[in-house]
Amino acid sequence: MTPTQQSALRLPQQDLESCSLFETTPESLRAWVDNLPMGNPNRAAGQLRTGISELNRVALAPPLRFNLLELLRPATHSVITALTRGCLNQPIVLEDDIQLQADLIVDLCTLSAAGYTLTAVETIRTHDSSGDYNPAKLACESLHRSMVLSGQRILVAYLLYQPVELNCWAGLHQLYALTERQQLARLPVDDPMLGTRSSIVQEYLPPLLLACAKPNQLRQHDIKGAYRAFQEWRDFVELQDPELGEGLFAVDMQSDQPPAFAELLVRRGAAQFRYINTKALIAHLEELKHSRGTQGLRVIEFDRETRLDTNLLEHLIKALGEISQRNFARQPARTTLFIAAGLTNVHFYVAGERSLEEVFYGPDYEPSADEEAHGNPFLSASQGDQWQEANPEEEPGEHATADEIELGVDVDKLARAAIEQEQQAREHRRHVVYSVKTTNTSPGGYCVEWNDPPDGIHIGDIVCVREAEMEQGDWTIAVIRWVSQVKLAPTLLGLELISPRGSAYAAQIKMPSGDYSKPIRVLLLPEIPLVGQSHTLVVPRMVFKEGQRITLTREEDAFLVKLKRQVASTGYFSQMDFEYLRQLEDDVENSKREKLPTATFDSIWSEL
């Protein structure tokens, strides 16, 4: 490949004579590591951060520095893994203790990578082969370890929907440029700790691919799963010289930026660019998608916890295989927007602030005593006093008088009205509407500024929005497409509009027994002929599937539909095309003779 002009790497200065925590010998360091409080990742990370920082500032021979860093690496890896796990499934706005964990991860990755880079640079500078080590092998292994740690640092930023720190991409690109100049980029390197064998270019590719895959549109576990999968699929991707290769994406190795679309970046004759050719990877993903269908892909070969479902595969195929262009221009706007998130809340407000039961049974629905007691341990468990069961001969009711038995309480109209008002207020507290400010808008959606988003906000969740000026207007249906968070700044959310309005229905699915399931919340989005969009149903994910026949009910209006195909989906809902069938009563006899797609739902009712 054409060599690139290499800028100076940021390396720590050696201004210490010794470390305060341990002597710079393998024996002393091994004893110190054995005494680390590994049961408390935060404390262990703090001590490791201090130890690695001091070690980087002590002048040492490259082989000794490498050996000491290798002794620290298993503990560092274990702590980083534990801290990363603690950062998952957290609110978008991190609490102080979780943000501290994230900062510890970044510091450990940065300091460890700096130590290995220092080892490689000193080895290259001295060219001292008089010892019992191979300088090329030592430099290659050191740069390999540094590249792995630098990739983990970028992964954490994407997991937390935060911008990658300044000079992080520049450091990653400079590392790879150094390996190219030393002709070490494609040499295989063994990693005894992880039990893997890879080259430096193979470790360079996963963070590049993750940046190309629009990670701000993915859920946290999908980001983590995609990065792990890219480590497995990196053989399907090539990093090519612009004079000889091609690719949808390219990287400027003299910048502090992630990869971008090649047609917007590459300049002819410029040696600092590299194409990222993903054609073979896209073909592989397409094959996986068609072979697995709707079952998803569980990559048990390298991580039993990693699950790549069909939705993620489709996202990766689209993100890595085609240029995305905005259909509408954004216009700055500073307006107030009301927003409710989650299918339960959206269904409630689209239904005119009515519960699922009111949608299904009608506005005059009143829960029975059994339904009111459901979920209340003080009511549902009233099968008699347990102490009375232990002493049945001491039943006080046997000698109660008629007056004591027929006690009743009369509630006047004002008290009853107050009780009903409190019940309505309690229902509204369950379904919260938030007020946010827009930063820009377009016909396709909004970018909103949310100072303190609630814990239940997730990428891919459905929302309903309404501008403050239209208090009595229809709720617009949208989906959260991306999240961006910067420290000490409001969280930004990108909302993509999917329908100008919707209708709330209760859906029932025919069970194997022939009975119908309990009502399930669904939204009917109307047809929009102007853009060629047919009517669709928004349904909970993993509940409905193509080919099922379901009933849609709203008060006394009920009809039968057949789900045709899934037109869109996220981690939280699916959008499905459907067709109307015969009236419900006309289908009863025919359905007995047909074997309809069914599913087991007992395990998911609590999640709906």
- Could you tell me the pLDDT band of residue 477, with boundaries at 50, 70 and 90? very high
pLDDT of 599 over the 80 cut:
no
Q: Are residues 448 and 427 in the same domain?
A: yes
Residues 171 and 234 in one domain: no
Q: What is the pLDDT of residue 116?
A: 97
Q: Tell me which residue range forms the domain holding 577.
A: 503-607
- Domain end: 501, 528, 563, which one? 501
Does 438 reside within a domain?
yes
Q: pLDDT grade, residue 382 (50/70/90)?
A: very low
Which of 151, 181, 198 lies at the terminal end of a domain, its last residue? 198
Same domain, 282 and 335: no
**Tally of residues, the chain:** 608
**Domain co-membership, 345 together with 437:** yes
| 31-66 residue pLDDT tens | 999 999 999 999 999 999 999 999 999 999 999 999
CA distance 41 to 35: 13
In terms of pLDDT, which residue wins out, 464 or 422?
464
- Give a three-class secondary structure readout of 550-596: EEEEECCEEEEEEEEEEEEECCCEEEEEEEECCCHHHHHHHHHHCCC
Tokens (6 digits) for 105? 């991860």
Q: Is residue 214 part of a domain?
A: no
Lookup result for tokens 């796990």: 85
Lowest mean pLDDT among 582-586, 594-598, 603-607: 603-607
Clarify whether residues 348 and 266 are in a common domain. no
**Average pLDDT for 394-400:** 43
Structure confidence by residue, pLDDT tens digits, 554-577: 987 888 999 998 888 887 899 999
340 vs 323, more confident: 340
CATH number (domain holding residue 560): 2.40.10
The tally of domains found in the chain comes to 4
Using DSSP, state whether 253 is helix, strand or coil. coil
pLDDT at 459: 87
pLDDT of residue 405: 39
Interacting residues of 35 by C-beta distance below 8 A, sequence separation 6+: none
Task: Give CA separation, 532 vs 442, 523, 526, in Å.
Answer: 19, 19, 11
| Residue 403 domain-assigned (yes or no) | no
> Based on the domain organization, do 25 and 48 belong to the same domain?
yes
Whether the CB-CB separation of 538 and 343 falls below 8 Å is answered with: yes
Residue 129 falls within a domain, yes or no? yes
- Residue 218 lies inside a defined structural domain of this protein: no
Predicted local distance difference test score (pLDDT) of residue 406 = 43
CA separation for the pair 435, 447 (Å, rounded): 14
Could you tell me if residue 292 is inside a domain?
A: yes
Under DSSP, the state recorded for 172 is: H
- Report the SS3 class of residue 393: helix
Q: Is pLDDT larger for residue 164 or for residue 371?
A: 164
> 45 lies in a domain?
yes
Band of pLDDT at residue 404, cut at 50, 70 and 90: very low
Domain final residue, candidates 481, 501, 521: 501
Tokens of 289: 């998608």
Contact partners, residue 408, CB within 8 Å, separation at least 6? none
pLDDT at res. 145:
97
pLDDT tens-digit series, residues 92-140: 777 788 889 999 999 999 999 999 999 999 999 887 655 677 899 999 9
Residues 187 and 245 in one domain: no
Residue 126 confidence (pLDDT): 84
pLDDT at 419 over 90: no
d(CA 266, CA 270): 8
Considering the domain architecture, whether residues 21 and 146 belong to the same structural domain is answered as yes
- Amino acid in the structure at residue 583: Q
**Rounded to an integer, what distance in angstroms lies between the CA atom of residue 173 and that of residue 119?**
18
Closest CA relative to residue 79, chosen from 112, 116, 30, 31: 112
Mean predicted lDDT score pLDDT of the chain: 82
Mean pLDDT, rounded, for 22-30: 95
| Residue environment code for 166-192, b if the CB has 16+ CB neighbours within 10 A, otherwise e | eebbbbbbbbbbbbbebebbebebeee
- The phi, psi pair for 602, rounded to 5°, reads -60, -30
What does the pLDDT read at residue 67?
Answer: 96
What residues contact 64, with CB distance under 8 A and at least 6 apart?
A: 24
pLDDT digits (tens, 9 = 90+) for 163-215: 899 999 999 999 999 999 999 999 999 999 988 899 999 999 999 999 999 99
**22/76 same-domain check:** yes
Q: Average pLDDT, stretch 72-80? A: 96
488 plus 584 within the same structural domain = no
pLDDT digits (tens, 9 = 90+) for 508-551: 987 777 788 899 999 999 988 776 778 999 999 878 888 888 99
pLDDT at position 412 over 70: no
Give the residue-averaged pLDDT of 299-304.
51
pLDDT of residue 5 exceeding 90: no
pLDDT of 470 reads 73
pLDDT, residue 503, reads: 93
Question: Which is higher by pLDDT, 98 or 462?
Answer: 462
What letter represents residue 33's amino acid?
A: V
Taking the C-alpha atoms of residue 169 and residue 181, their distance in angstroms, rounded to an integer, is 18
Per-residue pLDDT band at 245 (split at 50, 70, 90)? confident
Q: For a pLDDT cut of 90, what percent of the chain falls above it?
A: 51
Answer whether 341's CB lies under 8 Å from 455's CB.
no
Q: Does one domain contain both 237 and 318?
A: yes
Q: What is the pTM of this model?
A: 0.78
Residue 392 lies in a domain: no
Regarding whether 38 and 26 lie in a shared domain, the answer is: yes
